[in-house]
Amino acid sequence: MQPLGISAFTLTSALGRGCAAHLDALLAGRSGLRPCAFDGCALPTWTGTVEGLDIPLSGQLSEWDCRNNRLAEAGLSQDGFTNAVARARKRYGATRIATCIATSTSGVEQGERAYRERGASGPLPDWFNHRTTQNVYSVGGYVRARLGLAGPCAVISTACSSSAKVFASAARLIATGCVDAAVVGGVDSLCLTTLYGFNALQLLDARICRPADESRAGLSLGEAAGFALLERSEADAGELLGYGESSDAWHMSAPQPEGRGAAAAMRDALARAGRGASDVDHVHLHGTATRANDVIEDKAVRAVFGAGIACSSTKGWTGHTLGAAGIVSAALSLLCLRHGVLPRSLNTGRVDPEISAHVLLQTRRTAVRRVMTNAFGFGGSNCSLLLGAAP
C-alpha cells in the first residue's frame, strides 16, 4: 500500500492528558499505575486511572454523558486535535471524513449504575439511556457528533485488537475513494465488568503488572482515549506504512500456543508495507503481562524478526486499556518515532528465561524509523500496524 499520512494524534491515559505528558512519563520511567481505588471495586489489583472525569458532559451533547464519553471528550480536547479535524472538515467536507472508533467497554459503567439503582426487580431508572451510553456504538456516535462529521461511522469492537483494527478499516475506506480522511481512535474506561470479569478468569495481577518478567502474574487494567487523523498526503505526525490482520481460530480467551495468528498478522503488515523484518527498529509488544501472552507473543516475534529485534511493552506505564490498547500503542509509538525513543519494558525486573527476544530494560534515545505495534484480543483477533516517522 501507499503510506497513509497521519496528520495529527493525541492520547490521554493514566500518564496524563496529551502527548507532552506521555513523552515525559516515558522518559522519566514513571508509571501511571496505582493500587485500584475504583468505586465499588474490592479487588487487590493495580489500575491506570484517568483523573478528573467527574464532570458531566453538558449542553447539546449531554445525552451522551457517561464515564466513557467523558473520557472521549477529555481525549479529543488535547493537542489541538479538534482544530486539526476542523481544518480537514473545511478542506474535504464533513461527509468525506469517516469516523472509525473502537471500544470494548463503551458506557457499560453507566449500565452498572442503572442496575445498582434498580435493585432486585422492577424497571431500570428513567435517566438511563442505553443508546447513548451502554450500547457499543455510543462512543462513535458521540465522537462523530462532537466533531461535526457526516461521513460513514462505525464502532469496531474486537476486544483488545479493536483500536489497531480501526486503522486498517479507515485505510480501506480511504483507498476505495468513498472518503478522503478518517478520524480513528479508541476509548475504554474502568468499570466493574472488566475488573471482576478478568478477575473471574484469574488474569489480574495483585501487584503492578510486569510484562515479560519471569514472575509476572497478569494484567493491570487501565483506561485511555486516543485519536489519530488519517489523510492521504498529510503526514506531519507520521505514516501508516502497513497493517496486518488475522484470526487465531483457536480459543475464545487463550492465544494459539505457537503464536501462529500473531506471526501471520505481523507478516501481513510487513508484506502490505512492502518491507522486510530488518527495516523495523522496534516491536511495540501487546505485552499484557499474562503468563500466556508474553511467552507466545515472543515466539511469534522471533519467528518473524529473529531474536535480536528490540522490543518492549508499555503496559507497565498505562496498564492494559483493552479496546484502547491499539491506539495507545500506536500513539506512544508515533511519539517515539518523532522524538527518537526506544522505551524500556517498564516494571520488568528479570526477563523470563523462556522469552528470548531482546526485551529492552533501559530506555534509549536514538533515531527510530519504523515501529511494529501488536494488538491481540479475545476471540483470537490479531492486528499489527507498521508505523513510520514523518517523512
- Catalytic residues, which ones? 160, 286, 320
Mask 179-198, x = binds another protein (CB under 8 A)?
A: x------------xx--xxx
- Establish if 46 lies at the interface with another protein (CB under 8 A): no
Taking CB under 8 A as the binding criterion, the range among 174-182, 218-226, 348-356, 359-367 that sits at the site for another protein is: 174-182
Strands 221-222 and 46-48: parallel
Taking CB under 8 A as the rule, does residue 124 contact another protein? yes
Give least dist CB 340 to another protein, A: 33
Site for another protein in 135-154 (CB under 8 A): 135-137, 140-141, 144, 150-154
Residue span binding another protein (CB under 8 A) among the ranges 31-39, 117-125, 218-226, 361-369: 117-125
Closest CA to 103 of 187, 184, 36: 187
Radius of gyration, alpha carbons of the chain: 19
122 part of the interface to another protein, by CB under 8 A = yes
Q: Tell me the number of residues near another protein by CB under 8 A.
A: 72
Quick one: 192 or 235, whose CB is closer to another protein? 192
The one segment of 10-18, 77-85, 104-112, 348-356 that binds another protein by CB under 8 A: 104-112
DSSP string, 12-54: EETTEESHHHHHHHHHHT---EEE---TT-----EEEPPS---
| Interface with another protein, residue 158, by CB under 8 A | yes
Measured over the CA atoms of residue 216, residue 217, residue 219 and residue 220, the dihedral's sign is negative
CB of 170 to another protein, least distance (A): 10
Contacting residue, 222, 255, 377, 388, with another protein by CB under 8 A = 377
Q: Which residues contact 385 (CB under 8 A, 6 or more apart)?
A: 164, 167, 168, 240, 242, 243, 244, 269, 326, 330, 372, 373, 375
Closer to another protein by Cβ: residue 192 or 359:
192
CA 304 to CA 311: how far, in whole Å?
A: 13
In this structure, the chain runs to a length of: 391
Backbone angles phi, psi at 56, to 5 degrees: -65, 155
Closer residue to another protein, CB minimum distance, 30 or 251: 251
Q: Which of residues 273 and 359 has its CB atom nearest to another protein in the complex?
A: 273
Interatomic CA distance for residues 378 and 374, integer angstroms: 14
Q: Which amino acid is at 333?
A: S
What is the 3-state secondary structure of 82-151?
Answer: HHHHHHHHHHHCHHHEEEEEECCCCCHHHHHHHHHHHCCCCCCCCCCCCCCCCCCCHHHHHHHHHCCCCC
Enumerate residues 195-254 that contact another protein by CB under 8 A. Answer: 196-202, 245-253
Residues 253-292 that bind another protein (CB under 8 A): 253, 260-261, 264
Q: Does 118 bind another protein (CB under 8 A)?
A: yes
Q: Considering the complex, what minimum distance in angstroms separates the CB of residue 21 from another protein? A: 30
CB of residue 271 to another protein, shortest distance in Å: 12
Subset of 314-373 contacting another protein (CB under 8 A): none
